Structure 1
C-alpha cells in the first residue's frame, strides 16, 4: 500500500455522522484539536518487533536499558538480554546476592545481572507504530509482539547444585542406620488415576510434542545480537525508515459511515 489521504477521528465526528451529537449520549463534545494526514509505509514491516519490558511505567529513556549482552535464536525467535544490576545500591542485599550468584558462577560472583527472556504474544489485532513528523502521522505495521520476562535459570542451577550435594551426602551415609529407616517407614495413601487408552495416547503425543519443541529450542545455538540504544546514530538511521517517502493519495472505496461501521460496529447504540 502507498500513502493514505487525510483521516480524522474523534468522538464528536463519529456521533455527528449518525445524526446525534456526542452530548446526546452523555459524552463531552470534544473539539477537533488537529487534522493530520496519515501515511502508511512498509519499509520495516517485516523487521519491526515490539518488545514489552516488565515493570516499565514510563517511556524508555536513552541509557535506561543498556544490556551488557544481547543474544538471539533466529529460528525460534527467542531473545535474551542481560541487564546489569546496581550492586552498589543500598537496597541491594550482597549476602543474598552472593548466594544467588552461585547459580551463574562457581567463583563467588555476585548476582549482578538480570536476564530477560522473550515470550511471543499471539496477535489478536494489527498493531502499528506511529511517528509524528511535522504535521504528518506515519504508520508502520508491527510484525510481532514480544514480552520480556525475568529468567530464573540461576535458581534451577542452584537447585541442581543442592541436589548433587545432597546426593553426595546420602552416598556417604549409605549403610548406616538402614534398619532404623525401615522401621520408620509409614503407610501412605496412593491415589491411582485410570485413563482410557485414547487419553493416554493423546497425553503422550502432547508430551512428546512439547519435549520435541523444547529440545529443538535448546539445540539451536545463540547468536550475538548488537544492541543500539535510543538516541544512537544507528537507531536514528532506522527511525528514518518509519517515515513514508511516497506521498501518492489512495482512492477511498468506502464512505465514512461504512468505514466507521467496519471498525467499531453499529454507530447508533439505540439500534440493535
Structure 2
C-alpha cells in the first residue's frame, strides 16, 4: 500500500438510515471527517499488558531499562518494583534476588518480555484533532508478559549447592559399602518418530541459539508529555487532507476493514 493519506468523502448514493437496520431513527448531530495516514505505520507497535490493571496511569510502567532485538523482534523491559511498599516481602525478595546477581541484591525489578500474537483483526491508532479523526494502521501487536528467568537461575544455584553438598557426603562414605537401586525405563519409538523428534529438537534449539546470539540494542523511553513523545504524536496527523474520490462506498470500505457492519438484530 502506498503512503497516501485518504479522506472518506461524501458518497454518490444516499446512506442507509437507522430505520433500514430496524433501529430507532436518531438525529445526526455532527459529521466528522476521517483521514487515513501511513506516515509511521511501519514502525508503530501496539504493546498489550494483559496482566496489568486496565486503570494503569501514564508512567506507571516506565522501564528503568528497555532493550530490543530487531531481527527476531524481541523486546524486554525492566519495570522497577516498589520495595518500600509495606506489602513487599523483603525476606522473599532477598531470596529471589539471587536470580539477579550474587552480591546480595534484592529483587527490585520485574522483567516484561514480548510475545508476538497472531493478527486476528485490524487495529488503528486514532487521533482526534481540530474536529477531524486521523487514523494510522497498526501492523505489529505484541503482548508483554512477566519473565521468570530469575527463578531458573535460583533453581540452578540451589541445584549446584545441593550437588556440592552431596559430593562432600559421598567422599565421607567412600569406605562404606553402598547398594543403589536403579530403575530402568524402556521406551520404544519407531524410526520415523525418532527422526521427527530429532528434527523438532534441532529446530527449536537452532532458533533459540540464533535468538541468544543476537545482541540487544538499548532503547530510550519517553513518556507522555515529553518533547520526543509529542514529536511522534504529530506524525499521526495526516499531511494531506484534500478530498479524494473513493471507488467504494463507505459501507464497502468499512466492510473490507472490519467485516460486516450490519448490527446483530434479536
Question: Which of the five TM-score ranges fits, normalised by the shorter chain?
Answer: 0.7 to 0.9
Paired positions, count: 256
Aligned residue in 2 for 1:249:
243
Measured at CA, do residues 80 and 268 of structure 1 come closer, stay the same or move farther in structure 2, by a change above 3 Å? closer
TM-score, normalization by structure 2: 0.85
Q: Write out per-residue CA displacement over residues 101-133 of structure 1, whole angstroms, 9 at most, x where no aligned residue.
A: 111011111100111111111212222111111
C-alpha RMSD of matched pairs (Å): 2.8
Distance between the aligned counterparts of 1:237 and 1:244, measured in 2? 14
**Structure 2 stretches of 5 or more lacking a match?**
none
Q: CA deviation at 1:83?
A: 0.6
Aligned residue in 2 for 1:106:
102
Asked whether the 8 Å contact 1:71–1:225 carries over to 2, the reply is yes
Q: Secondary structure at the match of 1:173?
A: helix
Asked whether the 8 Å contact 1:39–1:136 carries over to 2, the reply is yes
Distance between the aligned counterparts of 1:15 and 1:105, measured in 2? 64
Distance between the aligned counterparts of 1:237 and 1:160, measured in 2? 46
Q: Secondary structure at the match of 1:114?
A: strand
Asked whether the 8 Å contact 1:7–1:36 carries over to 2, the reply is no
The answer to whether the aligner puts 1:207 opposite 2:210 as a matched pair is no
Aligned residue in 1 for 2:118:
122
Q: CA deviation at 1:13?
A: 5.2
Distance between the aligned counterparts of 1:7 and 1:163, measured in 2? 70
TM-score, normalization by structure 1: 0.83
The counterpart of 1:167, out of the listed 148, 153, 163, is 163
Measured at CA, do residues 253 and 88 of structure 1 come closer, stay the same or move farther in structure 2, by a change above 3 Å? same
Q: CA deviation at 1:258?
A: 4.2
Q: CA deviation at 1:264?
A: 3.7
Q: CA deviation at 1:99?
A: 0.4
**Structure 1 stretches of 5 or more lacking a match?**
24-28
The counterpart of 2:47, out of the listed 29, 44, 51, is 51
Asked whether the 8 Å contact 1:6–1:36 carries over to 2, the reply is no
Q: Secondary structure at the match of 1:211?
A: helix
Asked whether the 8 Å contact 2:8–2:250 carries over to 1, the reply is no
Q: Write out per-residue CA displacement over residues 197-235 of structure 1, whole angstroms, 9 at most, x where no aligned residue.
A: 223222221211111010000011111111111111100
